[in-house]
Chains A and B, each alone.
Chain A
């Protein structure tokens, strides 16, 4: 069974204070690791897909990296508008068939950036 653990559960940063969010995973053969951003009262918004260890993706102040056991979402010089819950999900190499595309989500990290 695929498992995803995100840490910390909550993180408060001062504006401009860089940090990283962690996503540890256990999966039987990783097909893809996904990062989402979720604002209060809204649906998750897709950010990145990472396919293999060593891969990195960037978008504005966010950079996602991937190893064989975990992924990090690095936030450089965050601004208050970066405040949100960040979700990580994995897609593993499940048995072929109708259920083989399902994602397993972590519980998220709630990021608050204080002006």
Chain B
């Protein structure tokens, strides 16, 4: 693989179900991010991790959790999905070099919660 992969590509989920979106990068980037993109609202940061073993909250973290056990993987979990979490989710990564954050994005996961 090259770059960032996300799985699944799309998913329809019943409200109340638990769901984990997967993200893997092979660029050895130290930082990773999860965004959601909604029409009219743009990209909004959910959670981030500047290095393996650490995570932080972004603009819209409620209802989501993340973990960063190693450099390559950054899964996003919805513990109990709600319809307002219907969105397109993008994972991104970057090398935090000289404090400048050029981020590279995965292909996205389209999630529908019914």
Contacts and interface: CB of A to CB of B under 8 A. Distances in A.
B16 interface: no
Nearest to B51: A98
Interface of B is mostly: strand
A31 B92 CA distance: 19
B34 interface: no
B99 A31 contact: yes
Nearest to A42: B107
B90 A91 contact: no
Interface in A66-115: 87, 89, 91, 98-103, 105-108
A87 B104 contact: no
Nearest to B58: A102
Could you say which interface size class chain B belongs to? 20 to 34
Contacts of B44: 105
B41 interface: yes
Nearest to A34: B102
A43 B105 contact: yes
Given A43-B90, A45-B105, A98-B50, A107 B42 contact: yes
Interface residue SS majority, chain A: loop
Q: Name the interface size band of chain A.
A: 20 to 34
Given A43-B90, A98-B50, A98-B56, A103 B41 contact: no
Contacts of B50: 98, 101
A44 B54 contact: no
9 contacts: A43-B90, A43-B108, A46-B102, A87-B42, A98-B54, A100-B99, A105-B43, A107-B41, A108-B42
Interface of A: 31-32, 34, 36, 41-46, 49, 51, 87, 89, 91, 98-103, 105-108
Given A98-B56, A101-B31, A102-B48, 19 more contacts: A31-B99, A36-B105, A42-B108, A43-B105, A43-B107, A44-B105, A45-B105, A46-B102, A49-B100, A51-B100, A87-B43, A98-B50, A99-B56, A100-B99, A101-B101, A102-B45, A105-B44, A107-B40, A107-B41
